Amino acid sequence: MDLRKVKTLIDLVQQSDITELEITEGEERVRISRGGAVTHQPLAAPMVYSHALASTQEMLAQPAPVAAPEAPPQAQGHVLKSPMVGTFYRASSPGGKPFVDVGQAVKADETVCIIEAMKLLNEIESGTEGVIKEILVENGQPVEYGQPLMVIG
């Protein structure tokens, strides 16, 4: 398994409320525990990942950043919440036109943002008709499951 994938998995565990994650990819298995060590156990052929294991254990030994509690939205309306852990993007490409802006009317099935999770871009729909009252997350900011993204009135 690629070291970048392991680092991405570690970041996802650190940014979420889960305490343990286990992924099997082919003959390789990675298990990440928030309170414990990272283990890598090949299912068939033995492989050596000592340098990758050591660097990921060092990363886990560092304290995770503590997120400030989210302030409740000030605007009245439907609060669109993140359906997953990932990175919030307002546009489909860097420097591209945002899907929506404050004051823009949206339909219930209209894409309003993208959340990238494990290199997959997930289009998030508004879920309701209305006007974008407030965008609560900055472009490129990591988001948690259930975190408020926008207020639609």
- 109-123 residue pLDDT tens: 999 999 999 889 999
10 conformational bin, left if phi > 0, alpha if psi -120 to 50, beta if neither:
alpha
Question: Would residue 89 count as lying in a domain?
Answer: yes
Query: Is the Cα dihedral 102, 103, 108, 111 positive or negative?
Result: negative
The reply to whether 20 and 53 lie within a common domain is yes
| pLDDT tens per residue, range 60-113 | 566 656 665 565 545 588 999 999 999 999 998 888 899 999 999 999 999 999
Distances in whole angstroms, Cα of residue 21 to Cα of each of 55, 77, 80:
18, 35, 27
Q: pTM above 0.85?
A: no
Domain of 138?
78-152
| pLDDT tens per residue, range 29-43 | 888 877 655 555 555
CATH number, domain containing residue 95: 2.40.50.100
Cα–Cα distance, 9 to 18 (Å, whole number): 12
